[in-house]
Amino acid sequence: MPSLLAGIRVLDLTNVLAGPFCAYQLAQLGADVIKVETPGTGDLARQLGADPALNKALMGVSFIAQNAGKRSCTVNLKSPEGCEIFRRLVATADVVVENFRPGVMDRLGLGYEALAAIRPRLVYCAISGFGQDGPLRGNPAYDQIVQGLSGAMSVTGDAHSGPMRVGFPMADTIGGMTAAFAVAAALVRAARTGKGEMIDVSMLESTLVAMGWQVSNWLVAGVEPRQMGNDNMTAAPSGTFKTADGPLNIAANKQEQFEALCRIVGRPDLAVDPRFADREERKRRRGELTAELESALAGAPASHWAGLLNAAGVPAGEVLTIPQALAHPQVVGRDFVRTFAGKDGGREMKVVRAGFRLGSGDPTPESPPPALGADTGEILLELGYSETEIDRLRAQRAI
């Protein structure tokens, strides 16, 4: 069965993470994603990551993470010839994704109105830190800046360690996922009506949307969220607990789960202790309850307790490192990591697939992340340029 986005062409003009992550989700669903990059340097992420040799080769691991399944075409958008190449690409495209500062594409003569005149059904997605208008629209936006301005850092960590940045580029990733969702929705309407769309994705607003419970606590209940470390604000005992060999997450959010937990750790008396009689009492006396439970949990390792608790319907799980998580039988058994053999004896590349499966065939990138400009000639031939014209464009540094 054809992939969900088979036949859809996406022009990805983005750099680093939010935009490339958006286009990566579309590529895994079968879209023909053409990464339009600056000649010579390309996406900044090509120079970023923990492997200096790959950074020098413009294949940094930060680039590899979200660019498999794409083709790379180098085009100098500051040259008239490069702009003409891009316009010809737009005439064949369904989607344009960009994450320049607001106004940059308009100054190049390649903003939404100009491109929609070429391709009326075009879905144009602009991803920025703060959106296309508002007092911060022109500010540079990095993930950590957005994490701070969104309030995410104010509720991360505990009273002694926070405010703290979430340990991965959360705002970038959420912004990219939001953009992919919006693009997919706009494509549905474009298929039905032929009408395109201008999409304005704000990383700040996307992050606030993802913080729904904390935001609602303030908007509706008037309660300002605070740092609670690893504790769950809605229930107790629900959080991270010490065991004989390491931390264990337990989410005994329901009364029956609390009672089962007490029984399994050998402390059935806690379930009838007046101090912990109901949810609100347990939340108020969270520290006392945690001390009682950790005293009992100290008798065995985290994996032992996790097995017993899950079997009894009490959600529990060890706290793993990223290498441990990727090696876990649950992750390995679902073929979550896609491996591409190295070309010409080069090293293999491993990337993660989409976070969902499909009955018609699982989303997956069909090719490894591309070398800079690897597909330029092929793409220009598809547009009708001759080999002689392509050589001339190279000489002019338009590609």
DSSP strand E in the chain: where? 9-12, 32-37, 70-74, 95-98, 123-128, 197-202, 238-242, 247-251, 316-318, 337-340, 349-352
Determine the 3-state secondary structure of 168 from DSSP. Answer: coil
Alpha carbons within 13 angstroms on the beta-carbon side of residue 212 total 2
The CA–CA distances, whole Å, from 208 to 128, 203, 235, 281 equal 15, 9, 23, 30
Count of beta carbons in the 10 Å neighbourhood of residue 148: 14
> Known catalytic residue: 172?
yes
Only one residue has tokens 């850092």, namely: 153
Integer distance in angstroms from the first to the last C-alpha of the chain?
36
Contact (Cβ atoms closer than 8 angstroms) between residue 356 and residue 340: no
Contact (Cβ atoms closer than 8 angstroms) between residue 196 and residue 123: yes
Contact (Cβ atoms closer than 8 angstroms) between residue 253 and residue 308: no
Q: What is the CA radius of gyration of the chain?
A: 25
Contact (Cβ atoms closer than 8 angstroms) between residue 316 and residue 306: yes
- Nearest Cα to Cα of residue 127 among 135, 119, 137: 137
**Active-site residue identified among 12, 94, 143, 172:** 172
Which DSSP string do the residues of 210-271 spell out, in sequence order? HTHHHHHHHHTT-PPP---TTS-TT-SSEEEEE-SSSEEEEE--SHHHHHHHHHHTT-GGGG
Q: So which residues are the catalytic ones?
A: 172
